[in-house]
Chain A
Amino acid sequence: MQQLLHQVLSGLATGGIYASVALALVMIYQATHLVNFAQGEMAMFATYLAWALIQSGVPYWGAFAITVVSAFVLGVAIERVIVRPVENSPILALVIVFIALLVIFNSLAGWIFTYTIKPFPSPFPAEPLFGNRYLSSHELGSMAITLVVLLLLFVFFRFTPLGLAMRAAAQNPVSSRLVGIRVGWMLALGWGLAAAIGSVAGMMVAPTVFLEPNMMGGILLYAFAGALLGGIDSPGGAVLGGFIVGVLENVVGVYVGSELKLTLALVVIVAVLVIKPSGLFGKVQVVRV
């Protein structure tokens, strides 16, 4: 039983990471009806940026802040420069563009930073808080950071005019133009925020899995699973889905063995898509014939 509790709590910690990335995915999906396959690699690349800053002597939280801002700018730039020109292309073309971005970021990281695995520091102390046996300080800390990020986003979207405008632009771009919203820039902002969230997730996960170009591959898959499970167009659902998948991964890992973790994600994805594509909390899409 103690083992189970430990796995569940640990699962919540990793679930927080999945929830963050899932939220980033949903943010872009809501606005564009597209899934950014490159989200994981963008996060990984941002994490390398943080690593480089720390290596050159910048204190952790300074590097953290610079990385988040840089990731935001990068996200905005990618939307404006790379995605915008092909906005109205068929889905296949857009999927290919995202895959291309995935490949480019992955190889850029490998090229600039090599493929050797690097350790990444955690800002949290090595000893567990209060000497507890369930969660390391890093797990606790990263959960806290994740929750803070999610809370900030919630407040932003719910209570600020800009957040409202972004929600409107995602839901109904035509009507948004009619109230004077610059829909194109709202989209770019969404990409920027998603990239920033991803960078936080990357920096929280790197101390555990070590920094290397393929670091985020499995995590992206879990984030997909979480987002689909919760509902790909429901931010709250995606967050919940992320936590569920995190716990599921650990609990199933105990009983079935840890080598099938990715397969578990695959099974969840296919199962959700086949049984209830809109997920637990998503809206059912009605296709007008």
Chain B
Amino acid sequence: MNPAIDRRKLAGVLLLLVIACALPFMIANYRVFQMTLVLTYSIALLGLNMLTGFNGQISLGHGSFYAIGAYTAAILIDKAGVPYWATIPAAGAVCFAAGFLFGLPALRLEGLYLALATFALGVAMPQILKHKAIEEWTGGVQGIVIVKPDPPEWTGVSQDHWLYFFTLAWVVLLFILGWNLLRGRIGRAMVAIRDQPIAAQAMGVNTAMVKSLTFGVSALYTGIAGALGAIAVQFVAPDSFNFFLSITLLTGVVIGGLASISGAFFGALFIQFVPNLADEISKAAPWAIYGVVLLAFIYVMPTGVAGFVQLVRARLARRRGAPVPR
């Protein structure tokens, strides 16, 4: 019993898509690169949001899946000569497996304990990536450099533009799939498990399977984001995937709005641009801002920007006397 698709919402989304396609031609090249990263982050944030916002499983280590996706792409391109576009689904598959496997023991861990375990994962990841045993593939501390892919001849756009549209295509695909998943049966099961886990189980929801699947899908999304990010940045190194990446992703989700799909874009814009601006004040400033913003959002706007937008729309609709759009 799926709710009917809101006409106005659909129109809004299509409009945004048109703007997104036109955008690269209206701004400078390095801005296009930044927007590509915004798109990348939005996928990662949607992934984390599925797990934490919709399913209520706290992850403080999602940067690790981003890292795994990034390294998968880098290793495949650099060591196995796989074309860049094929590495994306590969990264997704690897991360799905990793997430699902990590999710299995995590099944028995509730809120706080899962947070602890994922925290440990996030802190330990750089060390794992640097380890001598896998240095041959990972390039150790130096990491791996990726050659920027060339756009196909017939398109006639620059490399940066091509990467932007490539990433945009993945965004559209993944968001449609994600939206479908979340409003379907599994999505409702996810939310039920978050809100009333025991009741959900009593009603026949296979809690264990849904939770593990959610972990897997969440990791898949974030892993694909990592792969896309690696290709855009053209470089992977262990220290770019430290604990603070996990915090960045968490911040993005909180700001955008937990359990909100559109929130992923607000959050992505924040985590891409605010550190750049803050960096000019001091090296420490971006993190201080993250911390303060996190606190502010928890106290004042727990539903994030998306929730705030929703609130505004509701107020406007009430004034017009129209039914509140969902």
> What is the number of contacts between chain A and chain B, taking CB atoms within 8 Å?
136
Minimum C-beta distance from A132 to chain B (A): 32
Q: Chain B contacts of A273 at CB under 8 A?
A: 105, 108-109, 113, 116-117
**Is there an interface contact between A217 and B123, defined as CB atoms closer than 8 Å?**
yes
Question: With the chains together, A85 CA to B299 CA distance in Å?
Answer: 8
- Residue from the list A92, A100, A261, A269 in contact with B117, Cβ < 8 A: A269
User: Are the C-beta atoms of A108 and B124 separated by less than 8 Å?
Assistant: no
Given the complex, which residues of B lie within 8 Å of A89, measured CB to CB?
298, 302
How many angstroms between the C-alpha atoms of A103 and B162 in the bound complex? 36
Q: Which of A33, A96, A218 contacts B123 (CB 8 A)?
A: A218
In the complex, what residue of chain B is closest to A103 when comparing beta carbons?
B291
- Given A99-B250, A104-B288, A111-B284, are A224 and B58 also a contact pair (CB < 8 Å)? no
Interface size, A (range): 35 or more
Bound: A225/B113 CA distance, A: 12
**A279 nearest CB across to chain B (Å):** 11
Q: Are B288 and A108 in contact (CB under 8 A)?
A: yes
B131 within 8 A of A: yes
Chain B positions within 8 Å of A162 at CB level = none
Chain A residues near B287 (CB-CB < 8 A) = 103-104, 106-107, 110
The answer to whether A221 has its CB under 8 Å from any CB of chain B is: yes
Q: Is the CB of A92 within 8 A of B52?
A: yes
B120/A82 in contact, CB under 8 A: no
Across-interface contacts of B112 in A (CB, < 8 A): 33-35, 91, 95
User: Most chain-A CB neighbours within 10 Å: which of B111, B298, B299?
Assistant: B298
Partner of A217, one of B105, B243, B302: B243
Interface size class, chain B: 35 or more
Residues 230-274 of chain A: 1 if any B CB is under 8 Å from the residue's CB, otherwise 0? 000000000000000000000000000101111101100110011
Minimal Cβ-Cβ distance residue in B for A34 = B112
B198 CB within 8 Å of chain A: yes
A103 and B290 form a contact (CB under 8 A): yes
Residue pair B116, A259 in contact (C-beta under 8 Å):
no
Contact A91 B288 (CB under 8 A): no
Q: A107-B284, A259-B127 are in contact. Are A92 and B58 (CB under 8 A)?
A: yes
Known: A92-B56, A103-B287, A259-B131. A265 touches B120 (CB 8 A): yes
Q: A251 to B294: give the CA distance in the assembly, Å.
A: 40
* A107 and B116 contact, CB distance less than 8 A: no
Cβ of B60 within 8 Å of any chain A Cβ, yes or no, is yes
Closest to A224 in B: B116
Name the prevailing secondary structure of the A interface residues: helix
State the CA gap A111–B254 with chains docked (Å): 24
Distance of A221 Cα from B127 Cα, bound (Å): 13
Known A99-B250, A262-B123; contact A115-B283, beta-carbon cutoff 8 A = yes
> In the assembled complex, which residues on chain B have CB atoms less than 8 Å from the CB atom of A266?
120-121, 123-124
Residue A37, interface by CB 8 Å: yes
B247 at the interface (CB under 8 A from A): yes
Chain B proximity mask over A78-89: 1 for CB below 8 Å, otherwise 0 = 000010011001
- B128 adjacent to chain A (CB < 8 Å): yes
Q: Check if B302 sits within 8 Å of A221, measured CB to CB.
A: no
Q: Which residues of A contact B198 (CB under 8 A)?
A: 289
A123 to B244 Cα, complex, angstroms: 34
How far is it, in angstroms, between the C-alpha of A100 and the C-alpha of B111 when the chains are bound? 17
Contact B123 A221 (CB under 8 A): yes
- In the assembled complex, the Cα of A56 lies from the Cα of B198 at a distance in Å of 58
B299 adjacent to A274 (CB under 8 Å): no
**Interface membership of chain A positions 121-159, coded 1 if the CB is closer than 8 angstroms to chain B and 0 otherwise:** 000000000000000000000000000000000000000
A101 touching B291, Cβ below 8 Å? yes
Within 8 A of A (CB), among B126-147: 127-128, 130-132
What are 30 A-B contacts defined by CB distance under 8 Å? A35-B112, A86-B298, A86-B299, A89-B302, A92-B258, A95-B111, A95-B112, A95-B115, A97-B298, A100-B291, A101-B291, A103-B287, A103-B291, A103-B294, A104-B291, A106-B284, A107-B284, A107-B285, A108-B284, A111-B288, A217-B243, A225-B120, A259-B130, A259-B131, A263-B127, A263-B131, A266-B121, A273-B117, A274-B109, A277-B109
Task: Give chain A's interface residues, CB within 8 Å of chain B.
Answer: 33-35, 37, 82, 85-86, 89, 91-93, 95-97, 99-104, 106-111, 115, 217-218, 221, 224-225, 228, 257, 259-263, 265-266, 269-270, 273-274, 277, 289
